[in-house]
Amino acid sequence: MFELILQALFSGVLLGGSYALIALGLAIVFGNMKIVNLAHGELVLLAAYLAYASETILGAHPLLAIPLAMIVVCGLSVVIYLLVNLIKSDRELNSLLLTYGCAIVLTNGILLIWKSDVHSSANAWFQDALVIGNLFSMNSEWVFFLISIVLLLVGAWWLKKSWYGRAVRAVSNNRDAAKLMGINPRVTEIVSFIIAGVLASFAGVALFSTSFIQPEIGNSLTIKAFIITVLAGIGSIHGVLLAAILLGVVESLTITLFSSSLQELTGMGLFLLVLFVMPNGLFGGKRRMA
pTM of the predicted model as reported, rounded to 2 decimal places: 0.91
According to the model, what pLDDT value does residue 285 have? 54
Least Cα distance to 197 among 60, 75, 64 occurs for 75
Q: Is 278 left (phi over 0), alpha (psi -120 to 50) or beta?
A: beta
Q: Name the amino acid, one letter, at 126.
A: F
Q: What span, in angstroms and rounded, lies between the C-alpha atoms of 122 and 208?
A: 10
Q: Where are the domains of the chain?
A: 2-227
Cα 278–chain centre separation: 22
Compute the Cα dihedral for 153, 194, 16, 226 and give only its sign.
positive
Local confidence pLDDT in tens for the 290 residues of the chain: 778 899 999 999 999 999 999 999 898 888 777 788 999 999 999 999 999 999 999 888 999 999 999 999 999 999 999 999 898 888 788 899 999 999 999 999 999 999 989 999 988 889 898 888 888 889 999 999 999 999 999 988 888 888 888 888 888 777 778 888 888 888 888 988 999 999 999 999 999 999 999 998 999 999 999 889 888 876 677 788 889 999 999 999 998 888 888 888 888 888 888 888 887 777 655 444 44
Buried-exposed string 176-205: b where 16+ CB fall within 10 A, e elsewhere: eebeeeebebeebbbbbbbbbbbbbbbbbb
| C-alpha distances out from residue 11 to 5, 15, 253, 256, Å | 10, 6, 9, 10
